[in-house]
Amino acid sequence: MMRAVLLALAVCVAQASHASPACDGVERNGGGERALHTLHDEKARALRSFLYDGWEISEIALSGGSRAFVFLSPDKTVAVWRGAWTLDEISQAKEWTVENAPGIPNQLARCFAVQVTREHAP
């Protein structure tokens, strides 16, 4: 019996070590300066950023109290999300990201979708 429990535990640990977390390789500190320049709001401030392979997604607090997500490729702004958050599933958020930020790396789109849907879940 003890042997079966230890074997099951070992299998769980092995599976967990091979699992690919949604934000593997995505840097989640720094950034935001490029996004701030895009919005032309002197009172805006960067809250957080997701950085991967030259791409950046920054969450910005705007002067009016609302928030925006700015999606930047290595050379330009490709999308801005402003207003109410209406995507309540990871798949919806990732689909919106891929459609509106063409060329975004899959890993970054997935990390962003997982993080924002978890935070906005009821």
| Residue pLDDT tens, the chain, 122 long | 544 433 344 434 333 333 358 899 999 887 899 999 888 899 999 999 999 999 999 999 999 899 999 999 999 999 998 866 666 688 888 999 999 999 999 999 999 999 888 776 55
The CA distance from 87 to 33, in Å, is 26
Q: What three-state secondary structure class fits 81? A: strand
Give pLDDT, residue 89.
84
Residue 35 has what pLDDT?
A: 94
- Distance, in Å, from the CA atom of 111 to the CA atom of 4, rounded to the nearest integer, reads 36
